[in-house]
Amino acid sequence: MWYPKVFNTNQALYKAIADAIERDIHQGILKQGDKMPPQRQLADRIGVNLTTITRAYREALKRDLIETFKGDGTYVKTRDNDSLTNKGTSQKPSSFEFGFANPGTSSTEPLADILRTLSNDRSKLDIFNYVENIGLMRHRDIAAKWLSQYGFRNLNANQVIITNGAMNAIVCFLVGILKAGDTIATDTLTFAGLIGSAKLHHINLVPIEMDNEGMMPDVLDAACKAGGIKAVYLMPNMHNPTSKVMSDQRKSDIAAVIVKHDILLIEDDIFSFTNLDSTSAISAQIPHNSFFICSLSKVLYPGLRIAFAKVPDQYYHQYVDALIHTVWMASPLNAEIITQIIESGIIHKLSADNRALISKRQHFARQLFDENVLSSNQESMYIWLTLPDRWTSDDFEHVALLNGIRIISANKFFVGKGTCPNAVRISLTSEPDYHLFCKGLTKLNDLLFQTPQLLNAIM
């Protein structure tokens, strides 16, 4: 713990401590971003009363030496990200990553052991070769066991395909099962990757209205009656970007509409490890109509690009054909790593670590943002901020980026024809350093209260 080793006692004690903070910063003993000791601990350590330390910190704040974050603590001020409003600088690279959603904690420790063992294990040389396109049997075996937790009954390795992340699994559906000109129903706000890929492959998207559980079954029913819909794309266990979760009743109602109109379901599950109360799949209720995709990218390592797809028997060959003619196969080395992490149970520890991190960050965000602005699910990696009228979501995204903060405007997720919600998505997990996370989010909240006109004038 830092404490002032020397300070000048010929002046008020609080000033002397503030001077010591200033001196130690200049001498590099205290570095930018260092956490200052809690006030009571510092008072006890140097034998002064708490009020003296409170006044000393106030003085240091006044001198712009330190900064405090509600619910987090006091830090030596960092100066590399000073805001545009202060500096008037031009475009800077993003310093706070709230756009992408990398896993919050993916310790690389387990990888070291796995890779060391693999490099000496001659019985597993197949993972460096071309293998069955759908993935090695032992990998699919573990994948089938993993998918069973979603409620699939009697699932076996021959019904499962290893893909190059969820994105590849989605593309295999678009190019292997659908054809250009076909139509998929989606939520009015949906995964931006699906929107981009559908456009690339000339697949139409039709928006279906949502309520607080996501897609509304009666609206889907009406759209199917109107005709032309071949499939519906859903994220029932945690919707991206809004974090809405479907109840079991809603899942059954949606399943009934799908069966009634004999359309297909692409069910995308990438976040349910965050929310252990909601892990059942609609696909388990209607296996003949559904493609279930489970990616490990948010809980383990997105760079390994591994997901599992459960495909109805009657579409299996078409789907595998698309896999072969897009990526040939997912990397067996990466599938082996994921398999071992699941088999060894390490995945449960990593999931728990991620849930703990999400919970802490959700708590911070909920304390910081006004409750009329923030909506989310306590278990989600994201929050959704509804902006005050003076901001448009695109302007806010742009100004945040100029201030070094990457966030994503609702427009990127919007399929609807009417007015897009005036909102932005914030990812809570990509910034590894908790202090920087708090600092970035606080800065974003400050921006919310500023007027865009004034910022434009400064720019």
Ligand X SMILES: Cc1ncc(COP(=O)(O)O)c(C=O)c1O
Residues that bind ligand X (CB under 6 A): 101, 165-167, 191, 193, 235, 240, 268, 270, 295, 297, 302, 307
Nearer residue to ligand X within complex by CB, 307 or 368: 307
Q: Choose between 307 and 385: whose C-beta lies nearer to ligand X.
A: 307
Tell the smallest beta-carbon distance from residue 305 to ligand X (Å): 7
CB nearer ligand X, residue 166 or residue 265: 166
What is the closest distance, in whole angstroms, from the C-beta atom of residue 155 to ligand X in the complex?
Answer: 20
The distance of closest approach from Cβ of residue 102 to ligand X in the complex, given in angstroms and rounded to an integer, is 9
Closest contact distance (angstroms) between CB of 448 and ligand X is 25
Instruction: Please say which residue, 18 or 264, places its beta carbon nearer to ligand X.
Output: 264
SS (H, E, C) the chain: CCCCCCCCCCCCHHHHHHHHHHHHHHCCCCCCCCECCCHHHHHHHHCCCHHHHHHHHHHHHHCCCEEEECCCEEEECCCCCCCHHHHCCCCCCCCEECCCCCCCCCCCHHHHHHHHHHHHCHHHHHHHCCCCCCCCHHHHHHHHHHHHCCCCCCCCHHHEEEECHHHHHHHHHHHHCCCCCCEEEEECECCHHHHHHHHHCCCEEEEECEECCEECHHHHHHHHHHCCEEEEEECCCCCCCCCCCCCHHHHHHHHHHHHHHCCEEEEEECCHHHCCCCCCCHHHHCCCCEEEEEECCCCCCHHHCCEEEECCHHHHHHHHHHHHCCCCCCCHHHHHHHHHHHHCCHHHHHHHHHHHHHHHHHHHHHHHCCCCCEECCCCCCEEEEECCCCCCHHHHHHHHHHCCEECEEHHHHECCCCCCCCEEEEECCCCCCHHHHHHHHHHHHHHHCCCHHHHHHHC
Give me the residue whose beta carbon is nearest to ligand X: 165
Tell me how far, at minimum, the Cβ of 295 lies from ligand X, in Å: 3
Closer to ligand X by Cβ: residue 302 or 416: 302
Residue 122, Cβ neighbours under 10 Å: how many?
A: 5
For ligand X, the closer CB: 234 or 357: 234
Closest CB 84 distance from ligand X, rounded Å: 28
Please report how close the Cβ of residue 89 comes to ligand X at its closest, in angstroms: 31
Q: Which CB atom, from 101 or from 142, has the smaller least distance to ligand X?
A: 101
Shortest spacing between CB 60 and ligand X, in angstroms: 41
Q: Which is nearer to ligand X, 187 or 221 (CB)?
A: 187
Residue 167 or 357: which CB sits closer to ligand X? 167
Q: How far is the CB of 95 from ligand X (least distance, A)?
A: 21
